[in-house]
Chain A
Amino acid sequence: MKVNGKTIVLENNLSLSGFLEENQYDARLIAVERNGEIVPRSTYGNVVLEDEDILEIVSFVGGG
C-alpha cells in the first residue's frame, strides 16, 4: 500500500481506523483520501485496506 507517496507493507485485514491508530494519527485532526476519493470520517472503521490502495493522509496542526 502507498501512504503519502511511500510504499508500506500492509497487514492482512487492517481497517483504516486500525492503521491510523497504529501509526499514531489522531482521527479528529486529519483528512484521508483513498484512491482519489475522500473517506468520510464516520466510515474509517468500516474501510478495510488493500495492497493496491493509495492513501493520502493530511494532518492539521493548530494556529490561524
Chain B
Amino acid sequence: MNLFINGKGIELDCHTAFQAREMIGNPTDIVILSGFQIEEDCLLKENDKLAIIPKGILPPQEELESMMVARHTPYVHEKVKKGKVAIAGLGGLGSNIAVMLARIGVGQLLLVDFDIVEPSNLNRQSYYISHLGMPKTAALRKQIEEINPFIKIETQTTRITEDNIVEIFSGYDILCEAFDKPEAKSILVNTAIEKLPGMKIVAASGMAGYESSNLMRTVRPMKNLYLCGDLENGARIGRGLMAPRVQICAGHQANMVLRLLLGIEEV
C-alpha cells in the first residue's frame, strides 16, 4: 500500500504499522501514526502518515522536519507553516510564546524587543545564564534555531512606539502583544486595531502573583482583539511576576494563535 513515512511517499507491502517498522527500521524505533505514538500494532490504511524514528540519532535534514511534526494532529502542520506571526515584547510572555510557536512550526516569526537579557528576567522568561547581556532578539533567535531550524525568524531590536507600529508589523497576520507596562499594551493594541485593519491581535492582561491558575482565560472583547489572562491581577509592589502564571498566560496566547492559524476564530 501507499504510505507517507517520515514525510516521503513510499509503496510498501505491509498491513500494519509494526510491519512497516520491521521493513524500514529497527525494533526499538518509535512509531507515530497520525499524530499518536503507538505502543501496540495497528492496521494501516492507504495513504496513512507514519513517523518511524530511531532514538538518539540525528536524522538527515530532509527527514528531521517531518519527524519533528509527527506528534501534531494530521494536516495541522501544513496550515501552521504558512503562518506569519509577530511578537511585540520578548519578556515572560513573548519569549515563551515564541518558543511555543517555534515548536509547533509556525513558518515565520517576527521578534521585536529593545532590551537585553538581565538576571531578573530568568525567573520567568525563556533565557539562560549564557544569554545575560545579549539582546533578547538575538538570545531568542539562538534558542529557536536549536528547537526548530525550519522556520524563518526576523528580528528587530528596537523600541516600539506609536509611530513605528504600522511600519514594523505590516504584512503579519497575527500580532501578539507581550509587553509588561500597561500603557505600552494600550498604545500597541489601540494603534494596531485602528491602523492595521484585519490583523488579529492576541494580547494579555493579568497574570501576576500566584492566584489560582483557573482564573486565567481567553476572551474576545472586540472582533480583532483576543485577551488572555485573569484580566485583573496586575504586577505591583508586593505582587511579583513568576514563571507559572506567566507561562499559563503565554500558553493561552500561543493556543489562540494556533487556533487562528487553523481558521478557528472562537476563543
Binding site for B on A (CB under 8 A): 4, 28-31, 33, 36, 38, 40-41, 56, 58-64
Q: Is A63 touching B186 in the complex (CB atoms < 8 A)?
A: no
Does B244 have its Cβ within 8 Å of any Cβ on chain A? no
Q: Is B227 touching A58 in the complex (CB atoms < 8 A)?
A: yes
Partner of A63, one of B189, B206, B223: B206
Would A29 and B189 be within 8 Å (CB), given that A61-B234, A63-B207, A64-B89 are in contact? no
List residues of chain A with CB within 8 A of the CB of B205. Answer: 58-61
**Interface flags, B74-106, vs A, CB<8A=1, else 0:** 000000000000000101111000000000000
CB distance from A23 to the nearest CB of B (A): 16
CB distance from B239 to the nearest CB of A (A): 9
Q: Is A64 touching B227 in the complex (CB atoms < 8 A)?
A: no
Q: Which of B160-189 contact A (CB under 8 A)?
A: 178-183, 185-186, 189
Q: Which of B218-262 contact A (CB under 8 A)?
A: 221-223, 225, 227, 231-236, 241, 246
Interface size class of B (residues with CB under 8 A): 35 or more
Q: Is B183 touching A28 in the complex (CB atoms < 8 A)?
A: yes
List residues of chain A with CB within 8 A of the CB of B89. Answer: 64
CB distance from A52 to the nearest CB of B (A): 18
Question: In the bound complex, what is the Cα–Cα distance between A20 and B183 (angstroms)?
Answer: 16
Partner of A64, one of B180, B193, B222: B180
Does B208 have its Cβ within 8 Å of any Cβ on chain A? yes
Q: Is B186 touching A61 in the complex (CB atoms < 8 A)?
A: no
Q: Is A56 touching B233 in the complex (CB atoms < 8 A)?
A: no
Question: In the bound complex, what is the Cα–Cα distance between A30 and B235 (angstroms)?
Answer: 16
Q: List 23 A-B contacts (CB under 8 A).
A: A28-B182, A28-B183, A28-B186, A29-B186, A31-B190, A33-B221, A36-B223, A38-B190, A58-B189, A58-B222, A60-B186, A61-B235, A62-B180, A62-B182, A63-B92, A63-B180, A63-B204, A63-B206, A63-B208, A63-B233, A63-B246, A64-B94, A64-B207
